[in-house]
């Protein structure tokens, strides 16, 4: 950390000075501040209100609090884009998982971390799509098409989504899969009313949008060990594919489930073994009887949406799959 200074957020004058710098940006039209880093501080420095041994973990909370407060004061929206966290940072959303590796292990590790994060009280969490860097070359990373595609699917069923990394991440740099990417982006826009509904519930209850299976099924001992599936809100069960073989096992918890893409009806409480999942598909199941708010029109930006036009998609016996209804 010899290349950077540390703002002393235990010192009110320093905090106000930092808020003033951010205010200049917000007055220009910036809508969100990325509070990057924050996970460690200079341990050999003197801080106004606390010893560095105590401040090291608390620093992220004070850092995000300052950015959140000035953003809300200027724009009216309480939001940051935060990386590190400590107890209490859930009051200052949003968070993302930092610089994950663009690999199957990186994707799996991101999901595991996000589920633990949600169980720790953080309602909004996401990740860099399709991972931030590769190995052994950290910079100028080229991502494999299948990793890019599978991570996009994971991102569509996350509270917020961003493409970010050490090289080009726009889909037109991946022409072989660009049409599939567009299809999944359209699905994301379709689901915005559902995401908004579940976000409001999260704000009121503290429940995360990405929920570990034990959140709903604490009595099911299998769910205590499953960290590669999750509930997205209260109604979706999502099982990302995280290998080049395009296969995986899926555990369906107790209940009645419907395949979101095919309309197939399934009973819960058992495994679906060795499923073959084409690259443009992902195992997503929705509760039978649920009503999913969706946006009926194609748009290219959320600014073009009028959420009063949202309609309810009923997962009833007539439901044949989201792309078939």
Q: Which residues form the catalytic set?
A: 36, 39, 99
Place of tokens 């991972």: 131
* Distant-in-sequence, close-in-space partners of 72: CB < 8 Å, separation ≥ 6: 78, 79
CA distance linking residue 207 with residue 216, whole number of Å: 11
CA distance linking residue 81 with residue 94, whole number of Å: 5
CA distance linking residue 100 with residue 97, whole number of Å: 7
Range list of β-strands (E), the chain: 34-35, 81-82, 95-96, 125-126, 128-129, 162-163, 210-211, 230-232, 236-238, 247-252, 256-259, 265-267, 270-276, 284-287, 291-294, 311-314
Angle at 277 between CA 275 and CA 280, to 5 degrees: 165
Chain mean position to CA 76: 23
Nearest to 255 by CA among 236, 245, 273, 269: 269
Chain mean position to CA 296: 24
Nearest to 211 by CA among 200, 226, 196: 226
Angle at 119 between CA 52 and CA 253, to 5 degrees: 160
């Amino acid at each position: 950390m010899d290349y950077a200074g540390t703002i002393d957020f235990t010192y009110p004058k320093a905090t106000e000075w930092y808020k003033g710098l951010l205010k200049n940006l917000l007055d220009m039209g910036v809508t969100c501040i990325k509070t990057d880093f924050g996970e460690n501080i200079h341990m050999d420095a003197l801080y106004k209100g606390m010893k560095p041994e105590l401040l090291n973990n608390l620093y992220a909370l004070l850092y995000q609090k300052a950015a959140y407060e000035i953003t809300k004061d200027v724009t009216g929206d309480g939001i940051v884009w935060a990386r590190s966290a400590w107890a209490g940072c859930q009051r200052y959303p949003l968070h993302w998982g930092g610089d994950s590796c663009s690999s199957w292990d990186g994707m799996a590790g991101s999901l595991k971390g996000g589920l633990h994060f949600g169980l720790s009280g953080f309602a909004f969490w996401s990740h860099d799509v399709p991972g931030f860097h590769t190995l052994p070359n950290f910079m100028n990373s080229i991502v494999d098409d299948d990793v890019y595609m599978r991570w996009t699917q994971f991102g569509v069923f996350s509270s917020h989504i961003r493409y970010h990394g050490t090289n080009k991440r726009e889909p037109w740099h991946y022409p072989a899969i660009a049409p599939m990417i567009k299809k999944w982006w359209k699905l994301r826009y379709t689901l915005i009313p559902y995401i908004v509904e579940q976000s409001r519930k999260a704000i009121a209850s503290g429940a995360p949008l990405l929920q570990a299976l034990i959140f709903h099924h604490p009595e099911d001992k299998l769910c205590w060990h499953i960290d590669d599936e999750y509930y997205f809100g209260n109604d979706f069960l999502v099982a990302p594919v995280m290998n080049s073989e395009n296969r995986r096992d899926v555990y369906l918890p107790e209940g009645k489930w419907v395949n979101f893409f095919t309309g197939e009806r399934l009973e819960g409480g058992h495994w679906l073994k060795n499923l073959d999942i084409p690259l443009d598909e992902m195992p997503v199941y929705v509760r039978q009887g649920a009503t999913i708010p969706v946006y009926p029109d194609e748009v290219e930006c959320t600014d073009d949406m009028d959420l009063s036009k949202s309609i309810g998609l009923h997962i009833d016996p007539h439901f044949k799959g989201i792309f078939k209804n």
